[in-house]
Every structure is written in structure tokens, then in C-alpha cells.
Amino acid sequence: MKKISFITIAFILVSTISYGFFILVLKNLSFYLSMLEDRVEIVAFINDTINEEQISSLIKNIEKVDYIEKIKYTSKEQALEEFKSNEEFAQQIKILAENPLPATIDIYLTKKDPKTVKNVAEQIENLFGVEEIFYTSIEAENLLTINKYFRDFSLWANWIFFLFFIVSLIAISLAMNDKIIVYGLVDGIIGGCAGLFFLNLIYKSLFIHNFNNKLFLTKSEVIIILLISIVVGVIVRIPKNVHENKVSV
């Protein structure tokens, strides 16, 4: 046990948990951003006076517009059935003599910046058969802002952690006593495995329990973390051993 460096193990343990948690936060934020992107859409309300053939023609014209990823057509009858699934709305609709809901076309875009959303919405609004248009310009602007801050935060956080890691690694290397390099493998494996174990506990208690999210590290990410842990465990011993070899020569 004297050959094992608890300082090195603790350093690898804390680094694995800290950066692993950072990766989990980024992965889950990216996941929720992708969900938010799916909500950015344009809704075209169709005029009740046009027939099925004209609706089909309208859909084809919409598909020709640039940046259209996919569209979803909902007829008046389908919209009514969806509303009936909500008990509160179902009671109110029963009072009405006829279906008041319009047919709609949900339009999803490949490019979601506010300017593109607005331009596409204006093009669709001028098409024959479109009664009214609704587009989430505010949500598009929010998404653009979130993405910008998300990228900036990721970049700076990675650099800060990298600098902290290098400085700490050098400090530990200089403070190390006479150690055999092979025990660096043991330090790295113990620190890496322990860090991943505690990171998994944090993931289960925080992300799954509170957010019902199943995004964890991939197998390749786990392997990379273990390899880095082993390399770190070996590196902190190299300066001392190299120095001793030079002295003996």
C-alpha cells in the first residue's frame, strides 16, 4: 500500500467526477436544446372554404419553399379528436353545433434562426388557402441566444478545466516521492474506476431521478476516461524517476 499514491488517486478521482459531471451536463443540455428545436415551427391555418384537392396543392407548394424539413397536416376532424382527448375542452366542444377548429399545417424548418423563420412564414402566408399564419419568432430568438451562450460556455469551461488539470498535474509530479512507474497504473485504474463509480451514482440520483433522463457516458467515453486516468497515474512518476536515473549515471 505504501507504493500507492493516495494524492494521485484523489486527484484522478476528483478530476473524473468533475469533468464527467461537466460532460453529462453538456450532453443533457444538448438533448434539451434539440427538443426545443423540434418545437420551433410555423403553423398555417387553412381556410375552411378550400377543398381537399386545393389542400393537397397547398401542401405541395409549401414543400417547395426553402428550408422546409417536414410538414404535418391535421384535418378539422383530427383536430377535433385531439381536443376531445382533453376532458375540459371536450365538454366545451359538445356545446357547439359544429366543429369550430380549422385544419392546420405544422411546418418544421432545417434552419431555425429568427430571420429565416420570419421569411418562410411570410412566404407561406401569401399562398392560396392560408387563412392565417403563426410562427414562433420569440422562441426562435431564444433558441439562437441559448445556443450561442451554450457554445461559449462549453469553450471557456473546457479551457479552464484543461489549465487547472495541467497545473495540478505538474504540482503533483513535483511533490511525488520515490515511486515505481508501474504503480502509476494501479493509481490510474483505482482513481478512474472510483471516479466513474461515483459519477454513475450522481447520474442515477440527479439526472434519472429528477429529470428522467437516460443520457450517460458512452462506452468509448468511459474507455477514454480510464486510459487518461492510467496515463496521468504514470506521468506523475516520470519526473522523479528520470531525475534519479540522471543522477545515477
Residues in contact with 196: Cβ distance below 8 Å, sequence separation at least 6, in sequence order: 16, 20, 217, 222, 225, 226
State the Cα–Cα distance between residues 161 and 208, nearest whole angstrom: 26
What is the grid cell recorded at 98?
A: 359544429
Indicate the SS3 state at residue 105: strand
- What is the pLDDT, as a whole number, of residue 209? 66
Reference 234, options 162, 168, 166, 173; nearest CA is 173
pLDDT tens, per residue, the chain with 249 residues: 455 678 888 888 998 998 888 888 888 777 777 776 666 579 999 998 899 999 999 999 999 999 999 999 999 888 888 777 766 666 666 666 677 788 999 998 888 777 788 889 999 999 999 999 988 766 666 766 777 787 788 888 888 888 888 888 888 777 766 567 777 788 889 989 999 999 988 888 877 766 666 677 888 889 998 999 888 888 877 755 454 444 444
pLDDT number for residue 246: 44
Q: Where are the alpha helices (DSSP H) in 64-179?
A: 76-84, 87-95, 114-125, 137-175
Which pTM does this prediction carry?
A: 0.58
- The per-residue pLDDT for 207 is 74
What gap in Å lies between CA 109 and CA 135, rounded to an integer? 11
Q: Give the residue range(s) of CATH 3.30.70.3040 domains in the chain.
A: 41-135
**Contact criterion met (CB below 8 Å) for 216 and 203:** yes
Instruction: Tell me the angle at which helices 219-235 and 182-202 cross, rounded to the nearest 10 degrees.
Output: 140
**Cross-strand partners of 74:** 104
Distance (Å, rounded) from C-alpha 97 to C-alpha 167?
Answer: 75
- 41-135: in CATH 3.30.70.3040: yes
